[in-house]
Structure 1
Amino acid sequence: MSQSVSDRINGIVAADGVHLFMKGTPAAPQCGFSGAVVQLLTQLGIPFASTDVLADLEIREGIKAYSNWPTIPQLYVKGEFVGGCDIVREMAQSGELETLVKEKGVAPASAGTAQASVRAQFHRASPDA
């Protein structure tokens, strides 16, 4: 990854409290995993910005090297890499994601109700969980 791409990514993750590198946009996700993370963040009331990696090949490849994580989506909170879809889903279900954003000073809109909603939806979608 070139220094200019690294600098661009540093600027992006530093600019927002919560940033999602995804395929597509929050209004029109282009993969199910990106859509799932958008849905979780929205349900939890966590404000976030996003970057459509499909619109920028340098960022799409660069973010994988930057995080040393091979897949998209990738979630960052206050510049810190959190994980991809599965990790974000597990953290949302356990309440860990809300705790992290609160600790980092990015408070969700409505904590308790949103957490109960995510937990209920997770159990409906995963009856064996």
Structure 2
Amino acid sequence: MSDATSRIEQLVKAKPVVLFMKGTQLFPQCGFSSRAIAILDRVGADYDTVDVLQDQEIRQGIKEYSDWPTIPQLYVNGEFVGGSDIMMEMYESGELQQLVSGEAQA
């Protein structure tokens, strides 16, 4: 296991809901990351963010870790959920609210 992989593993398990994004929660650096933050805020999630722009190893490593080519990436309870488009679909169907509220109570 590479150093980046073990660091990512620790990050996704550190909190029930973790978003790997470009920028920070208060200052997203791309539209997709901004949309992901807005969705998580709308569902009232308690979450951590990881700014991939601050660490190139994490930026590349997260794509390999999830086998998903784009950022942002959402993890709930250590499991990869998807990017902002999937988050939006899950939000619109009510599935994301259930997933996040279920994990917050676990």
* TM-score, length-scaled by structure 2: 0.95
Question: Is the 2:28–2:34 Cα contact (8 Å) retained in structure 1?
Answer: yes
Shift, 1:44, TM fit: 1.0
- Between the aligned residues of both structures, percent identity stands at 53
How many Å separate the matches in 2 of 1:99 and 1:42? 14
Question: Is the 2:33–2:72 Cα contact (8 Å) retained in structure 1?
Answer: yes
Q: What stretches of structure 2 of length at least 5 have no aligned partner?
A: none
How many Å separate the matches in 1 of 2:55 and 2:44? 28
Question: Is the 2:45–2:101 Cα contact (8 Å) retained in structure 1?
Answer: no
- Asked if residue 83 in structure 1 is aligned to residue 70 in structure 2, the reply is no
User: Residues 11-90 of structure 1 correspond to what in structure 2 (within 5 A)?
Assistant: 11-90=10-89
Shift, 1:43, TM fit: 1.1
Larger radius of gyration: 1
Secondary structure, in 3 states, of the residue corresponding to 1:106? helix
* C-alpha RMSD of matched pairs (Å): 1.0
How many Å separate the matches in 1 of 2:66 and 2:104? 21
Instruction: State the aligned residue count.
Output: 105
Letter in 1 for 2:63: K
Letter in 2 for 1:36: R
2:101 alignment counterpart:
102
Q: What stretches of structure 1 of length at least 5 have no aligned partner?
A: 108-129
Shift, 1:99, TM fit: 1.4
